Amino acid sequence: VAELVVDNCRSTDGEVEGLTDEYTELEILSMVNIGLSSLSKLPSLPKLRKVSPPGCPRTTEVLMAVKCL
């Protein structure tokens, strides 16, 4: 899977429903309206290159964080 949309899937205790360690090939991730408050429990996504929603002030921070996990 290269693209995953988890829009409107609420974040529970820092985890995103549907986003698991099996997505190592993920390149595009859409997380519109999920209420994520921390990146600490996101899986490592080494090939991630695009996070939606675009224009989000934390998009670059999210990309760097999940690549380094």
pLDDT, position 60:
59
Give the type of residue at 5.
V
Span 6-64, pLDDT tens digits: 888 877 777 887 788 899 999 998 888 887 777 778 888 899 888 876 545 555 566 66
Read off the pTM.
Answer: 0.71
CA angle 30, 6, 61 (to 5 degrees): 45
Please indicate whether residue 36 or residue 1 has the higher confidence score (pLDDT): 1
- Is residue 34 classed as helix, strand or coil in its secondary structure? coil
Strands, DSSP E only, in the chain? 3-5, 11-12, 15-16, 28-30, 50-52
pLDDT score of 69 more than 50? no
pLDDT, position 2:
93
Closest CA to 31 of 58, 3, 51: 51
